[in-house]
Structure formats: structure tokens, C-alpha cells
Amino acid sequence: MIKRILIVDDSPMIRGLLTKTLEKHGYEVCGQAKNGREGVELYAELSPDLVFMDITMPVMDGLEAAKEIKNQYPDSKIIMLSAMGDKEVKDQAMALGIDVFLKKPFDDYKIVSAISKVV
């Protein structure tokens, strides 16, 4: 069951919005990272049940971070967030074993629905 969630996004506004939505629906946000490198490190430290991962970030992008997490933790669950609905990017994410690809902007329903698809 998914309970603890790690948010990896370079936008403080998106991290705040996601945190508020997730907590409202009974999930615990166990950590937040502002780039892919921090996300990989926090994943190793916190072992969350699920990661919300943005694609476009400084230091290390979401695809690279997701690839590292999936290589080290094959059972990890990752939902990719992107403002781009670019088919090529989506295909790359799916090839990495990403569970759900969520396009920004999103609402409560899309977030909860994406989580239910991962379970």
C-alpha cells in the first residue's frame, strides 16, 4: 500500500501544491527534493513507497534520476510529472519503467487517480 511519498521537483510551488493535495488525501510526504541528484539521494535514505518526479530540473533531470533509482531499486514506483506532453519524452519515461506519466497542470483527481494506477 502506498503511504509515504517523495516529491522531486525544482518548483517550490509545485512541491507545495502536491504536498497539500497528498496530505489532504491521507498520504505522508516523507521528503522533497529540488533536483534529480537530491531525489536519488533522498530515495536511498527514505525508501518511499512512491516518487512524484518532475522531468525538467537542474543538476540531474528526472529521466536520469528515475533511471538511477530504477537501476538500484527495480521495484520502485515513480510517477513522472511534465509540462511537456512530448511523445518522445513519454516513450523514454515508459522505457525506463515509469508507472504513470502525468501532464501538468494537474488537479486533485488526476493525482489520486495516478496513485491508484500504481498500486
Q: Would the pLDDT of 8 be above 90? A: yes
What percent of the chain is modeled with pLDDT above 70? 98
10-67 pLDDT, tens per residue?
999 999 999 999 999 999 999 999 999 999 999 999 999 999 999 988 999 999 999 9
**Assigned C-alpha cell, 55:** 522531468
Query: When comparing pLDDT for 56 and 84, which is higher?
Result: 56
Residue 44: CB atoms within 10 A of its CB come to 12
Is the CB of residue 42 less than 8 Å from the CB of residue 68?
no
Helix (H) or strand (E) segment spanning residue 115: helix 108-118
DSSP conformation class of 97: T
- What is d(CA 119, CA 83) in angstroms, rounded to the nearest whole number? 24
